[in-house]
């Protein structure tokens, strides 16, 4: 509906960028990998908490997902400017760390309280992870290249989801449900390692 009501071009059509990258844009690589590894932990939670909750004797998991959704909405509205104030790298580090602790809490506590703890921590971490990483990926690129970078960055959501489902599902079959959340936390830790070795790209001068 929005697209049909919009003008044909919202603003000026950007000029052709001779330096436009082909395929995967390198500016999106590190933020995208960090996002994919964080998504693995979320995939473990969203895919396996329903059956894990029943193993713990709970009637279902709808309340956990409802609370997660409400928490994300509140944080996205109330904390929209927080990444800008804290700095993108610090925000991403805090978000991934929160996701790691949240995923591990589900396994370590092995109780309803553990799932609630994981739900809250994952909600906080995931709420800040995407906006901060997206801003990081386009922070130093020209307007003409921004769409291509965003396209490359968003692809990592599907990669993380597919990888997480296959790997964590296999881990769960061999080692049991609790191991899924431990594995998700350990995989997300690699996002912190990758982020640590990220070097800022040279600043792009944008005319106008």
pLDDT in tens, 71-122: 999 998 888 888 888 898 899 999 999 999 999 999 999 999 999 999 999 9
CB 96 within 8 A of CB 195: yes
The one-character DSSP state at 87 is -
Kindly report the average pLDDT of the chain as a whole number.
84
Mean pLDDT of 5-17: 54
Whole-number pLDDT of residue 16:
52
167, two tokens: 């790997």
First CA to last CA across the chain, in angstroms?
Answer: 32
pLDDT exceeds 80 at position 190: yes
Neighbouring residues of 195: CB distance < 8 A, sequence distance ≥ 6:
30, 34, 89, 92, 93, 96
**pTM metric for this prediction:** 0.81
């Amino acid at each position: 509906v929005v697209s049909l009501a919009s003008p044909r071009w919202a603003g000026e059509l950007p000029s052709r960028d001779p330096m436009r990258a082909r395929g995967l844009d390198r500016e999106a690589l590190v933020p995208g990998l960090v996002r994919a590894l964080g998504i693995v932990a979320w995939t473990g939670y969203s895919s396996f908490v329903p059956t894990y909750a029943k193993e713990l004797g709970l009637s279902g998991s709808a309340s956990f997902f409802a609370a997660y959704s409400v928490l994300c909405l509140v944080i996205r509205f109330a904390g929209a400017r927080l990444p800008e104030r804290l700095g993108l790298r610090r925000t991403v580090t805090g978000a991934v760390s929160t996701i790691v602790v949240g995923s591990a809490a589900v396994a370590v506590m092995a109780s309803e309280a553990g799932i609630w703890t994981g739900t809250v921590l994952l909600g906080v971490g995931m709420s800040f992870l995407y906006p901060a990483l997206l801003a990081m990926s386009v922070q130093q690129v020209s307007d003409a290249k921004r769409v291509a970078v965003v396209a490359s960055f968003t692809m990592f959501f599907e990669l993380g989801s597919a990888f997480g489902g296959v790997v964590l599902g296999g881990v769960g079959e061999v080692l049991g449900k609790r191991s899924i959340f431990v594995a998700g936390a350990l995989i997300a830790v690699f996002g912190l390692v990758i982020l640590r070795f990220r070097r800022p790209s040279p600043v792009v001068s944008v005319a106008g």
